[in-house]
Amino acid sequence: MKQEIKIVVLFIFVCGSAFVFTRGGQMQTNQTAKAQTKTAAEVYKNIQVLKDTPAEQIMPMMDIMSASLGVKCSFCHVQDQWEKDDKEEKKTARQMVTMTLALNKQNFNGRLEVSCATCHNGRPHPATPISLGENLFKRPNNQPSKEPMPTVDQILDKYTIGLGGKDALEKFKPERLKPRKPLIKNSP
Ligand code: HEC
Ligand code: HEC
């Protein structure tokens, strides 16, 4: 838990500054500090989207990206050849950084609301559907319901009603559909 908080705080710090710097340093008033801070592009060999981010923030960012996706560096990198772009995952990660910055800029007034972890939550591939049963049936404050759980028969009865009722279902006779004539005749 403590670790998580640390990561979140670090991420907010890192992204906040990344944002400031990617805006072309408009908000940077201290000229001396600017001159002293080397950008990632000046220090590393193949930086394309985080060019203006201070170089010292690249490694914390790498740690956060790894933690957000629950992966090791080698998920995106050829080990010890960090500048190489051989892995598709690294290219995707670049697009994701651009997307995440744009999401915050366009929808949250530039505040860091959406991060890699918002969607990825420790997984390389975010879950699209909600996980049934996890939250849907929890009562407020996790109090168990006073009503007894419905029986299997009661659930099936509701399902039958949902399908139109017993009478309607008994009248329903499945028929095999006849194949349709093709609209355009095949030329011989
Ligand atoms: C989710 C993918 C991903 C993971 C995981 C990841 N990186 Fe990166 N890394 C990138 C991307 C993307 C860049 C290039 C950023 C850019 O172009 O602005 C990069 C750039 C770098 C660079 C600069 C290389 C150069 O000279 O251009 C180093 C060094 C680096 N990563 C180290 C690491 C280390 C160490 C880890 C593990 C702690 C790690 N990365 C985990 C995606 C990742
Ligand atoms: C708005 C939600 C969202 C955010 C924010 C987001 N991602 Fe993703 N990411 C996705 C989705 C969805 C996919 C799967 C896309 C697919 O399968 O085509 C994905 C896929 C990826 C992949 C490819 C995974 C694989 O298995 O090949 C990488 C790498 C990745 N994201 C890195 C990142 C990083 C790094 C960040 C933060 C800078 C980030 N993402 C932020 C939604 C997000």
pLDDT digits over 66-117, tens only?
A: 999 999 999 999 989 999 999 999 999 999 999 999 999 999 999 999 999 9
- Is 22 a member of any domain? yes
- Is 177 a member of any domain? no
pLDDT band at 178 (very low <50, low <70, confident <90, very high): confident
Ligand 1 neighbour 105 (Cβ under 6 A): no
- Is 109 a member of any domain? yes
| Alpha carbons 146 and 32: distance in angstroms, whole number | 66
Which residues, listed in sequence order, are joined to residue 54 by a DSSP beta bridge? 39
- Is 136 a member of any domain? no
In contact, 18 and 53? CB cutoff 8 Å:
yes
Centre of ligand 1 to C-alpha 77, Å, is 7
Instruction: Indicate the top mutation candidate among 51, 71, 73 to test ligand 1's pocket, ranked by most ligand atoms within 8 A of CB.
Output: 73
- Is 181 a member of any domain? no
Tokens 């996890």, residue located: 134
CATH of the domain at 80: 1.10.468.10
Nearest ligand to the CA of 101 is 2
Return the pLDDT at 142.
Answer: 65
- Is 127 a member of any domain? no
Domain of residue 30: give its range.
2-120
- Residue 115 CA: nearest ligand 2 atom is 5
Ligand 2 neighbour 61 (Cβ under 6 A): no
Q: What residue's CA is closest to ligand 1, atom 31?
A: 82
pLDDT band at 22 (very low <50, low <70, confident <90, very high): very low
Which residues, listed in sequence order, are joined to residue 64 by a DSSP beta bridge? none
- Residue 97 CA: nearest ligand 2 atom is 38
- Is 141 a member of any domain? no
- Is 24 a member of any domain? yes
| Alpha carbons 101 and 84: distance in angstroms, whole number | 23
The total number of structural domains in the chain stands at: 1
